[in-house]
Amino acid sequence: MTTTVLDAVVRLLRDTGMTTVFGNPGSTELRMFRNWPDDFTYVLGLQESSAVAMAAGHALGTGRAAFVSLHSAGGVGHALGAVFNAHRDRVPLVIVAGQQARSLLQLRPFLGADEPDQFPRPYVKSARQPARAADVPAVLAEMHRIAMTPPRGPVFVSVPEDDWDQAAEPVEPRTVHSGYTADPDALAALAARLDTCARPALVIGPGVDDEAALPEAVALAERLRAAVWISPMSGRSGFPESHPYFQGFLPPVAGQLATRLEPYDVVVSLGAPVFTYHVADDSPPLAPGTELFHLDCDPAQAPWLPTGTSLVTTLRPALAQLTALVRRSDREPPPARRQPAPVTAGEDLTPELVLDQLHRRLPRDRVLVEETPSHRDALHARVPINLSGGFLTTGSGALGWGLPLAVGRALADRRRVVCVLGDGSALYSVQALWTAVRHRAPVTFIVLDNGGYAAVGALGRRIGITPVPGTDIGDIDFTGLAASFGCQADYADRPADLARALDRAVTSLGDDDGPHLLHLRVTGTEGVLYEPWTG
């Protein structure tokens, strides 16, 4: 019996653990679904960007690459915002897009993609349309290995729709051991500098969480008695925020960031872009006298850094070696992080009150997904994360990521996820509620509704633009919208109703219950971002 491309790909997907397929099907993908295997799960997203974000959440939860099926050129175009996020956040995805039949490509057919391997670049690690149908399984196997090799990320394959029925050879599984370590002499030099410095600090980037290196980062911080910060706009956590050495989150503004790091003579950045800025100013990246070392697995990060010394390395082996090389320090430990005062209930339902009460109810092992740009700083200050893999957001800024990301993350291990969203963010991908209901994803969605894109308005005011057009939304009935998708929902706009609503949405729901949305109309906010500055 002849083995087809489809037969070989199905076997490859089983071998690589990619039996949950996320997508939105169309005519150019139909042949891929012939005799769909009983042991595969198809997770339908009602829009392609939601399908990609759900796949990303699943990949982050399982630690394996996720498989995504997109519909031709239009589907790839719809999905590119989420592909951009996956690329910047180093999420391993194998993305396959349908293409018209090879015999039609010269005729510029309906739904055909011109230069399909160029379309998603530069936001994929690699992109191909195989030269022959028989090459499709081998190309997909290679792409899977590329996606999973540090720095991990999405890859893309365009498959003409008539390839699936053609003959092809099966692909044997391969193993790639991808951990690698910096030059021993470079690590020894860094250890020597850390032994002689007076005030060291670590900057924890998303790479620490991505490489499951949190224990190694904690061990190094404790051996050095170093202050610990989270890198600007990080899509992960990477360090227990209740640890006495934890200092907070660096702002994405050069002057403010340099001020935060000015007390330290040596700063070691671990798995972070150095540095991610959101607002331009004329400040240098670091104050004079602060020396920077940068450890990351991506060789593309090292050349463009404006200052410091880079060590290209994966983190777990490098941190283990570095911790063994440095002397245990007896220097004074860093001061304790200043905690915000608890908010007392008044007449208004404020984001700070919501977040304080959420913190009291959030179990330590609960994964928190965030996409509320106006209130991210308040969330970081009031809801500490101590769990490896316990915090997910977008580190790149394309909205619509959080809601479907939470759905995919919940489907990865069927443990309840709490997702805190802004109203503007939720509306980018609200159709993912349908998928959450269909698969009974255990997610609690908390929508902090401030009536618009308050973060954009705040940035506008700081550069003298007021009012900012197009930033008001308001009057969206999220409970009715959720109910239309079959999702249970509650609403509150008074402090007196908050405890009951959070108890129902967070405390009383278990992992076997389906999704629930809590719509909270919050006031007393103008979209505060970072801290006030002059520019």
Q: Are 251 and 257 in contact (CB under 8 A)?
A: yes
Q: Which residue has the tokens 């019996």?
A: 1
**Is residue 184 reached through a cis peptide bond, with omega within 30 degrees of 0 on the bond before it?**
no
Q: Which of 49, 58, 71, 388 is catalytic?
A: 71
- Of 17, 248, 308, 397, which is the active-site residue? 397
Catalytic site residue from 45, 48, 237, 452? 48
Among 467, 446, 447, residue whose Cα is nearest residue 526: 467
- CA separation for the pair 15, 17 (Å, rounded): 6
- Backbone phi, then psi, for 456, in 5-degree steps? -65, -40
Residue 48 among the catalytic residues: yes
Distance in angstroms (rounded) separating the CA atoms of residues 300 and 456? 31
347 is catalytic: no
Annotated active-site residue 26? The verdict is yes
71 labelled catalytic: yes
Nearest-angstrom CA–CA distance, 328 and 91? 35
CA distance 74 to 448: 32
Set 142, 278, 291, 524: catalytic member: 278
**Residue 275 pairs with which residues in a beta bridge?**
none
How far is residue 120's CA from residue 61's CA, in Å, rounded to a whole number?
25
Measured between alpha carbons, how far is 240 from 276 in angstroms, rounded to an integer?
A: 22
The CA dihedral of 40, 44, 45, 48, to the nearest 10 degrees, is 70
Residue 17 annotated among the catalytic residues of the structure: no
Do the beta carbons of residue 313 and residue 180 sit within 8 Å? yes
Strand order in the sheet with 516-521: 391-392, 367-371, 417-422, 443-449, 516-521, 488-492
Structural Rg of the chain based on CA atoms = 24
> Is there a contact between 214 and 239 (Cβ–Cβ < 8 Å)?
yes
> Would you call 359 a catalytic residue per the annotation?
no
Identify which of 265, 142, 146 has the alpha carbon closest to the alpha carbon of residue 194. Answer: 265
- The CA-to-CA distance between both ends of the chain, in Å, stands at 71
CB atoms within 10 A of CB 193: 17
Structure tokens at 364: 């330590």
278 is catalytic: yes
**Alpha helical stretches, state H, 310-438:** 315-325, 351-361, 376-382, 402-413, 423-428, 432-438
Q: Strand runs (DSSP E) across 167-224, as ranges?
A: 200-204
- Which residues, 6 or more positions from 481, have their beta carbon under 8 angstroms from its beta carbon? 430, 433
Asked if residue 334 has a cis previous peptide bond (ω within 30° of 0), the answer is no
For the annotated catalytic residues, the residue numbers are 26-27, 29, 48, 71, 278, 397
